Structure formats: structure tokens, C-alpha cells
Structure 1
């Protein structure tokens, strides 16, 4: 499979770049989630003598107890084990439940409690998949003495001219996952391979069927375990198990006077996100109250949620935003001043784009200013102006910057 994979790359690598590959006897560790993508990634490197799989256990069911935890991923672990056995490589189960709770789950809860819209997938990649897992592998193999293979639809490409490793979007197939990797550390890129990012999802599925992988027809995962348990309108109920009820008013603001009118109550700022349709009864007899209403703002100080009529109301749109704690994927020696120059140069070349959700159409950035002294911190804050107003940008989401298809980095929307 590796030879076929290498041949397929010949016409898929941008000019001036290359895909790094392990030597025959290098240590190759493939993170296997039991899905089609990571299973095909494992098949590509299964012929390497020192290839091994690792399955990460990050979550137990909410009903577990200390002595008899119930794991919601038992079937996934069995599937990953069967794929590894089919490919003839060993696989190890590694438990990161405690780390996940501290580094991903609790920050997510805190973000919702503060009225934000956090993204646990980005935190999971930063702190667990490319964080705690790497720390464990460093202890086992030695830092830099192994390749970590993941099944994400993104690409890590080496620029031939100066040997700089860059994170790029996956092929335009509607599966690009580069947004979720935008908080990674640049120093890890030289030893990470994302082979699936060079292919379309349909090609990956076809590879799996041709190889007769046990999971060839397994449906795609809908997310991490606790999110799966909360699908189909249950996420609010799931959060209610962990967040206290802090009722507050649902209000409208008079556009002329700013006067508040109370229309209902909410369970907590976490119960709705900006842009979400809100199902409270409004007096339909008055013309300007008819139709659906949507959340436009959340006030933490007063614990109030502001609603507006219609999903395209002007107050739902913004053409500027502030991003704080920006982490870049440029070389580690890059100074904040150099980062800003890179951003400004990209704006002048009309090649800087922003996304605040995965898989959305990239938004051109037309100006950028530093909100803090760039020499004072390695995590500067930016004020960005966008080419077109965007709907429902919410506090706590990540604003990810791209230079064309290259991921520059991301920070939290304030």
C-alpha cells in the first residue's frame, strides 16, 4: 500500500514542496480510532517493520463509577484492534481520560458557562492527540525518534527551498480538517504525517474496500464520544448535567433608545449560542413580532440574552472581530513583529483569509492591527476587518488565519 500511496502523490504535491516519509526501519506510530480514515492511514505504513498502532481512550460514560467505569468506546476499540490484527501490526490502548477531562472537557464547560462557544475538537488535538500522546511516545521512543501518523484530512508539507514544514488544507473535498489543527505547535510538524489529506474521502473509502479492511463500510464518526451522546437536540440536556442553572432574562433592545423588554427566561448563558433560533412565544398579533427570533448577543455581566427578529437581522452580522492569544504555525524562531509582517504582506497580496468555523467559505481579510504591544507577548491579539460581514461570529470560537491554503494559526474570538 505504501508504494501505491507514494505513486499517487506524484501529481498531488504543490511545486516546491515535498511529503516527508519515514525510512524503512524508523519507528512509525499510527493513531487508530477505528474509523476508515485512520485505518487506511495504518494500512499505508503497515509494511514498515517498526510500525505500531495506538488507540486513545479519552472518555468514559457519564454513568461510570470509580470501580467499574463504563466506556462508551468499547466497540471502537474492538474495531481498531481487529484492523490492526488484519494488517499484522501491534496496537496499544492508551488511556488519557484524566488529561482529557482537565485539558479539554473542563475548559469547554468554563467556556459555555462564561457565555462563549468553545470548540473541544481544537483543544483535543492540541492537548491530547498531539500533546499528551506525544509526551507518552517521547518517553517510549525518545523525542524525535518516531513518526506520528494521523488520519486527518490536512497536509503537512516540507518546503524544499528552506526545509520549512507547513500545515496545509486537505484537498477540497468537503472534509478538510485543518481548522481543527490550527492550535498545534510548529515544532511537532517535522515528525507528523497526515497521509489521508492528499486524497478525497471517496478515494479513502475505495482504498478501504479494495484492501478488505474490517471497517471499510463503517459510517463516519460524528465526533467525540460525549458529543455523540448528545446528538439530535440532546446537547443542552447533556450540559445541564455539568453546569448549574443560572436563570436570566431573554430581552430585546429598542434600536433607538436601548430600552430593554423582557420576553422570557433562560437556564443559563450556555443554553443558547449566538445565531441560534430561540423558541419562545412572541405576540404574533403585532407585525414586527411575527416569525422566528434569534440570539444576537449575550451579556455575562447581567446574565441576559438578546434576541432579534429573523435569521438575517443586521445585528447578527459583523465585519470585524478581535482575536486574542493567537498561536502561529510559523517557525519557532518567528518573532511577533515577523508574524505581523507576514500577515500584513499577505493582506497586500490579497491572500489572507479567516475562518471561524470548519468547512466554511474562506473570508478575505482586508486589514489587521495589533491590539497589544507585539514585543510584549508571543501570543498577540489582533483586530481584523473582513471583506464581507459574517453571521453569528461568537465569543470563544476560534478565528483561524490562512495564507491561501496554508494554515497560519488561530486564536480565540473575543
Structure 2
């Protein structure tokens, strides 16, 4: 019997993934990562529900304490980034550093298993011509999570199964109900667990960063208002600035060194290109010449035509066919060829 470790968060997606594989004849071992200190749905109620699902399926369940790793690689990473005036995206880093990497290592070293599965909506294909694993969008484009998975290495893709990649979310809930899973009607969790456990990103950051009053200024340096910390703002933000102006103003720069929030009109926050660092080439090897692709500069953004120009030191320059609004340092840019993830990285400037 084939053995597989299934990452269980206690939600309907991971529960259904485990049930599907169990029904297919796999020897399933449920594994829950304890990520956050204190209370939080994914780490209190979630662990209980994960254990209950394993009991329902008649499979073993293990919990691995990853709180210190999560604190260092995600919480500290976020706090440092926001305090420096960028808007970090923790999910892709969490997937590679906190979840998939440690899960594969634990499965191999402790459980004698070389395969893991999760409830993510994405697909993996092996291309025999290029001898490379490809990461593809999920069939359900509304639930597709390939954007958050761009940083997975070939080794991690080779060890991973996504049982829900070919399902619509409605199918997932239907299958969960057919199996009688407790989580079949469980509400959707938010994309960011830290927001879910703290109520808002602002509330989370306020636990770590003290208020620091400074000026909101326009591009000429004229003071328009006051703020209580640059970490409360993000590029492209329009609402909540607390300033009056004859035309809509947007955050165009966060100057953490001088503790200033700089605002301007919409044209000032629309750019024709950007630089991306920490690039991971996924479905193809790194090209030596520019390529054409479609890029998403945030999770829910529409894919836009782009020229990807490789640079040195795992960096690229993205030149958009049409200038893009609110390009935000710290967020991920992920470029595709149709449904295939070609690569991605962190927006630098």
C-alpha cells in the first residue's frame, strides 16, 4: 500500500484531500503543523478538527510544533518588512519554508514516506521532454492558489500531490458531504491566518510595532496630514488617509527612514515596469533572453501581458504592455504561460 502524509489544517479542503486519498487506497497519515502561539482557528479549533477527521477515517494523526519556526520566518519577517515600509507577502514564504519543506523532511525522516499531499488548489505535471515538474493553475480559477506556490522547488514539487487540483470548490464540499466529514460545511478561512487570528493586519502589527506619528506629504513635501505609523499603510491605498484634497490621493511611497507617507494622484502610482528579486523559475529553466508571459502582481489581480527580462543574482525586470497600478514592494509577482507557472519572485521596486 502506498503511504502518503497529508497536511491537515482542520478545514474542508485538507480534510477532503485526505479522504480522497484514503478512498484511493493510500495509507494516509495526517500531519498538522502547530504554527501560532496562543489561540487561532488554524491552531486550536483546527487541530481538534484535524484530529477528528483522522479518527473518522481511521488513520493516525500527528502534530509537529513549528511555532518557533513560524515566529522567525513569518511573524518576524512580516514585522521587519512593514517597519521598513514594504508590504510583505507571507504565504509563499510560509509554504516553502514552514510547511512543504519541513513536511517533506518529517515525512521522510520520521515516517519513512516520500510523498505529501495538501488541500491546495493547484496541479502538478511532469514534462518528460524537459524532465521538469510543472506547476499549473487549478481547474477552479476562483480558488486557484498557484500564485502562492511559485517558490516551491523541483524537489518539493516532485514529492507533492494536490488531490483537489481538478475539482471545483463545490465538488470539494459535495465529496466531503458524501464522506460524512465533520468539516463539510465549515466556513471558509481567510487567506491569511494571522489576520484571522488577530482580527485584522493592523491589530496584528500593533502587537509588535508601537505608534510613531509622522507626516503625510505630497510629492513637493507639503504636509497634508498626520499618520501614526508607516506600517499602517500600503502602496495604492486611497481610503483611510484622513486628508482632504480636491482630487483623489493615493499612497505612492512609504519613507520609513524619515517616517513619511507620500501621496499623489493616480498617475503617480501607475508604473510601466518593476524589478523582482529572489526569483524561482518553476516550470522552465531560467532563460538567457527575455520571454513573453502574463503576470499577476497580486493574488486577485488579472494576468497582464509582460516581457520578463532576466537579470543577474536571481532577479528579473518586468516590462508591462500597459502600465500597472499599485505595484507594491514585498508582494509577489508570478508569471504564467497560460495555466503554467513559469516563475515568480518578490517585487523589489
Task: State the TM bucket, normalised to the shorter chain.
Answer: over 0.9
- Structure-2 separation of matches of 1:113 and 1:57: 26
Do 2:87 and 2:329's aligned partners in 1 also have CA atoms closer than 8 Å? Answer: yes
- Shift of the 223–198 alpha-carbon distance from structure 1 to 2, 3 Å rule, reads same
Task: Report Cα offsets for 1:197-248 as digits up to 9, x if no partner.
Answer: 11111111111112221111111111344210333xx421320210233332
1:317 matched to 2:270? The reply is: yes
State yes or no: 1:392 paired with 2:326: yes
Secondary structure of the equivalent of 1:43?
A: helix
Could you say which structure has the larger radius of gyration? 1
Q: Structure 1 pair 39/282, CA: closer, same or farther in 2 (3 Å)?
A: closer
- Three-state SS of the structure 2 residue aligned to 1:83 is helix
Deviations 1:29-86 (A, max 9, x none): 111111111111001111436321111110022xxxxxxxx56532211111111111
Contact 2:96–2:151, Cα closer than 8 Å, also in 1:
yes
**Are positions 1:191 and 2:154 aligned together?**
no
Answering whether residue 72 of structure 2 is matched by residue 126 of structure 1, we say no
Q: How does 1:315-394 map to 2 (within 5 A)?
A: 315-330=268-283, 334=285, 339-341=286-288, 344=290, 346-347=291-292, 352-365=293-306, 367-372=307-312, 377=313, 380-394=314-328
Q: Under a length normalisation based on structure 2, what TM-score does the superposition of the two structures give? A: 0.92
Compared with structure 1, are the counterparts of its residues 60 and 203 closer, same or farther at alpha carbon in structure 2 (3 Å cutoff)?
same
Question: Pairwise CA RMSD of aligned residues?
Answer: 2.0
Post-superposition offset of 1:368: 3.4
Q: Give the corresponding residue for 2:225.
A: 264
Whether the 8 Å CA contact 1:156–1:166 is kept in 2: the answer is yes
Following the alignment from structure 2 to structure 1, what is the Cα–Cα distance between the partners of residues 309 and 127?
29
CA distance in 1, matches of 2:160, 2:241: 49
1:280 Cα shift? Answer: 4.4
Quick one: distance in 1 between partners of 2:308 and 2:45? 47
Specify every segment of 5 or more residues in structure 1 that has no aligned partner in the other structure, as ranges: 1-24, 62-69, 254-258, 284-288
Mapped pair 1:51 → 2:12 = no
| SS of residue in 1 equivalent to 2:218 | strand
How much has 1:128 moved relative to structure 2? 1.1
Summarize deviations over 1:258-304 as a string: whole Å, max 9, x none: x3101222222211001112434545xxxxx2355321212234221
TM-score by length of 1: 0.78
* CA drift at 1:181: 0.5
CA contact (8 A) 1:46 1:88 kept: no
| 1:110 Cα offset (Å) | 0.8
Equivalent residue number for residue 9 of structure 1 = none
C-alpha distance in 2, partners of 1:221/1:173?
A: 18
Partner of 1:12: none
CA gap of 1:308–1:162, structure 2 versus 1, over 3 A, is closer
1:10 maps to none
Partner of 1:3: none
Q: Which residue of 2 aligns with 1:117?
A: 87
Partner of 2:342: 408
Q: Which residue of 2 aligns with 1:19?
A: none
Number of aligned residues: 346
Partner-residue secondary structure (3-state), 1:44? helix
Is 1:230 matched up with 2:177?
no
Q: Say if 1:278 and 1:292, in contact at 8 Å, map to a contact too.
A: no
My pick for the range that moved more, 198-207 or 161-170, is 161-170
Task: Identify unmatched segments of 5+ residues in structure 2.
Answer: none
Task: Tell me the CA shift for residue 163 of structure 1.
Answer: 4.5
Which residue is 2:249 aligned to? 293
Shift of 1:330: 4.3
User: Partner of 1:393: helix, strand, or coil?
Assistant: coil
Aligned to 1:82: 52
Q: CA-to-partner distance for each residue in 1:368-394, whole Å, 9 max, x for gaps?
A: 33443xxxx4xx211111111211111
Aligned residue number for residue 173 of structure 2: 205
Structure 2 Cα separation of the partners of residues 308 and 121 of structure 1: 30
